[in-house]
Structure 1
Amino acid sequence: MDSRLRGNDGMTAAGLLHLLQFASPALPIGAYSYSQGLEAALENGTVHNADMARAWIVRHLHEVVAQWEAPVAWRLMQAWSRRDWPAVAEWSEKFIASRDSAEFRAETIQMGYSLVKLIAELGIADAEMLRHLQSEAEVALPTAFTCAVAALDIPHDAALLAMLFAWAENQVLVCVKSVPLGQVAGQRMLLSLREEIEAAAAYAQAVSDDDMCNWAPGLSLLSMQHEVQYSRLYRS
């Protein structure tokens, strides 16, 4: 296939393949080992069947991810593409500061570190981008992911959708293992989230800086409870 071939959305074949690689759960950064508070919700009974699992994912998507994580990633993509280093540093710092439990902070730093190392080893970023990325004492996962998006010239809207899908897929996999759900039920749930993911991506692109918010005290409390949870499969 000619890597210059473009679909109706303007994405090249090469861009699509790069996006599939960097949004894949097979990417060796450890995303599968985190539940982002869901395991604690399963432990205390807040989530205990398929309907409640889907409701949890949808609420988390719209009230947490779409309000803060996705808009920050959207701004980071633009900053990397413009090579606006102060903006990259500012949004990265804000994202790390927004991680209000030890587990949530460790999660983004660990996966960010792993992705920075992978980016360097694969040689996908130019010297200037890599130098800026490696100059940070701590790199959040969205900062590293959006650097890869810019380096590989992946369309921002597609990258945002892929990021949200990867997040939702990981949440569904937690439910498959721990609710438990069957494999088909898990895929049915993931398929049912398409419109929710599209709506979250659209909101993240449109929300103003002043309207962004990371206020999720219930999720923060669950994360803190998970830190001392006796039996657990996940690191968050």
Structure 2
Amino acid sequence: MQQLILWQLINSNFPLGAYNYSEGLEYLIESAGCSEAESFQDWLRLHLRYGSIRAEVSVMLRVIQAIAADDLTQLQYWNSWLNGTRETRELRQQSIQMGNSLLKLLGDLDENKRLQLGACREQIGKNCHYAIAFGIAVALWEIEPHQAVLGYLHSWVSNLVSAGVKLIPLGQTQGQQIIYQLQPVIVTVAEELLDQQEKDLYGCTWGLSLASMNHETQYTRLFRS
């Protein structure tokens, strides 16, 4: 049952609006930073290894631990922490929109979870980042954390590959080849993050931040960020 719930959460048809976002990829393509399949795959690999997605997953794991320890005050701390790591309005709005949408959908899926979801929401406040909401779902539905991390990372890669197929453009087969070839990286990063200590949290995001800043004023855009 838990595995099926995870598959539903990371399914591209789950209505969170993830398809609206490219995380600044449009500017990277326009500036020739990711103008072909090879450079795009390299960018995804580097972001998995060093980017902000690592911090998101680490926070998600800490949310799971906090709920298991019945320490819901940690949810507000980590939500504020994520808020402070979003250097642009676009990136912050993307994370909050998807997080708020996920929390609402979780309550609509299972009314028996609404009381627990309400307690979490009370600690977080009005705006909930996506990694926080995903961690809440993993904790309340008792999804195995290792599988949750793999699913979170794979979903992130798949969403950006979908954007890359439209923007670069790439063929559908090329997109699937990129996802397949990045699977060993996803497995390695997942194992690293499961063992990561809080003092070792990091993410090198200046490239993503600059791309997002330029995307806000880009002349033509297909995606919201």
TM-score over 0.5 (shorter chain): yes
- Contact 1:21–1:27, Cα closer than 8 Å, also in 2: yes
Query: Partner residue of 2:203?
Result: 214
Q: Deviations over 1:154-197 (max 9, x none)?
A: 11110111000000001111111111111111111111111100
Q: Number of aligned pairs?
A: 223
Matching residue's letter, 2:199: D
Query: Partner residue of 1:197?
Result: 186
Q: Deviations over 1:195-215 (max 9, x none)?
A: 100111112112221221234
2:145 pairs with 1:156: yes
Query: Partner residue of 2:120?
Result: 132
Q: With structure 1 as the length reference, what TM-score do the two structures score? A: 0.90
Structure 2 residue runs of 5 or longer lacking an equivalent are: none
Q: Deviations over 1:53-105 (max 9, x none)?
A: 10011011111145411111111122223322122221121012111101000
Equivalent-residue separation in structure 1 for 2:30 and 2:188 (angstroms):
30
Q: Deviations over 1:13-65 (max 9, x none)?
A: x1111110011111111001111122210111101111001001101111114
Q: Counterpart of 2:51 in 1: which secondary structure?
A: helix
Query: Partner residue of 1:110?
Result: 97
Q: Counterpart of 1:220 in 2: which secondary structure?
A: helix
The percentage of counterpart residues that share the same residue type is: 33
Structure 1 residues 20 and 68: alpha-carbon distance in aligned structure 2, compared to 1, 3 A threshold: same
| Misfit runs of 4+, over 2 Å | 80-83, 123-126, 128-132
Further displaced range: 137-146 or 208-217: 208-217
Q: Counterpart of 1:221 in 2: which secondary structure?
A: helix
Equivalent-residue separation in structure 1 for 2:79 and 2:173 (angstroms):
37
Match of 2:2 among 2, 15, 36: 15
Equivalent-residue separation in structure 1 for 2:25 and 2:122 (angstroms):
32
Structure 1 residue runs of 5 or longer lacking an equivalent are: 1-13
Matching residue's letter, 1:229: Q
Further displaced range: 151-160 or 66-75: 66-75
Q: With structure 2 as the length reference, what TM-score do the two structures score? A: 0.94
- Contact 2:107–2:114, Cα closer than 8 Å, also in 1: no
Query: Partner residue of 1:70?
Result: 57
RMSD across aligned positions (CA): 1.4
Q: Counterpart of 2:22 in 1: which secondary structure?
A: coil
Equivalent-residue separation in structure 2 for 1:122 and 1:66 (angstroms):
27
Equivalent-residue separation in structure 1 for 2:98 and 2:114 (angstroms):
21
